Chain A
């Protein structure tokens, strides 16, 4: 037996190991590199444009001059509206699917449905939102139509990620809660949700990102008005739509990049703040005192 164990096989395996480390590291560097280049380029082009006036004043001449204040307002209200509708609904649905529904064929079908829905191009949601909210329900191009359409668009992602996060909470935590006399709802609110929070938040943040970045569905449902809205029934233009129109119509590449820089920075900021708050909350929850 002794002679059959070959040293060169081990050496070959080791070389393969080294090669794979190189390939994998290379992939990671490439992926992050592309991201850094895109974001870096946008900021490099856009940051010089950013001044208090640019942020706080209304556009003039269709955006050729002036600032982007109304589009910042538009982005914030539309995204906030979409998340306020989709997050509670999505998390509630996920709770139902993960904790209450009988895990049979129906649930599998719903799961498959939400997964498919998450992959549908946003323009389809836009056209649906236009036909249903804007025309049929006569909401017109408005914050309401836009927010509801975006909510429908991000809902599947929120449901799927929240459900996965809840299913990943160890069964033994639930058992302990029940064994101490906890009810189902107590077990969900005190054990399942706190432990699923990071996953749930990730789904919501993906939704925020998609809402902020959406153009097609927004143009169809919220319009492209450059005025600051005064009610939920007013149309708005988001930064993404503004960027798209400025670039597409050749109005001002300079201001387009300025808008893009604000977009990128605000998405980063929202993510950062959300995860910071979550970690602080979890640290407090899990015990971090003396």
Chain B
């Protein structure tokens, strides 16, 4: 249980004294897609945000336990926060391009990390837009406002913006919940393409999506990891009755 791109070990998180994650131990293997599923408010987004330390922005959050990236504790103090966030990119629930041009959106990350050279930036923008399949569509509109794009393309752009800082892990926080089915499929296709090079962790409340698009699935309930298994196994023969109840849409057993 120790090899893996990201290893979460005995992680506890409390928000203003109220526990939100309890003793979670979970391995995210390299170049695979892991889905985190569970009902609203179960802590799946919170878990995701401990990996790139976005929970740090919220006052009153207390964390115990370890999150290892390539064996290095992200809360250990040896890893620079900005470096961590570059290596662990994130796509949010609602498409949220900056009110800037398409180009400046993708170039934002590289610029923040000190890349000034125009031709290099142009190369990065082209490479990343190609990777998300937007280049042919947008090559003549790089100077147009990103907010003019349809929502699905905005989310693809957000993915390109993450790729621009050459992350190793990509966190997707319900990336399709604001999108129509076609755009959703597009993002799922992209995930399959990107998994060749990146470790992908996706939080979703859409179980078909988890079943379709992931290699491994973790089921979280009330801040606890109930079950973690290869997706096929978890969806066809879950071991825990709570998992079975959740994936078949039955009422969950009353919590103890």
Contacts and interface: CB of A to CB of B under 8 A. Distances in A.
Contact of B112 (A170, A180, A288): A180
Contacts of B99: 195, 286
Interface stretch (A18-26, A181-189, A211-219): A181-189
A91 to B, nearest CB: 20
Contacts of B84: 181
A86 B172 CA distance: 44
B112 A287 contact: no
Given A175-B57, A289-B143, A181 B165 contact: yes
Nearest to A282: B99
Contacts of A174: 57
B186 interface: no
Contacts of A112: none
Given A190-B108, A286-B99, A181 B86 contact: yes
Contacts of B94: 172
Contacts of B165: 180-181
Interface residues of B, number: 37
Contacts of A170: 96
Contacts of A180: 85-86, 89, 108-109, 112, 161-162, 165
A177 interface: yes
A286 B100 contact: yes
Given A175-B57, A176-B98, A288 B52 contact: no
A289 B85 contact: no
A290 B140 contact: yes
Nearest to B104: A287
B169 interface: no
B33 interface: no
B82 to A, nearest CB: 4
Interface string A255-290: 000000000000000000000000000000111111
Interface string B5-25: 000000000000000000000
Interface in B33-92: 52, 54, 57, 82-86, 89-90, 92
Given A173-B96, A174-B57, A180-B161, 7 more contacts: A179-B92, A181-B86, A182-B109, A190-B112, A287-B103, A287-B143, A289-B142
Interface of A: 170, 172-183, 186, 190-191, 195, 285-290
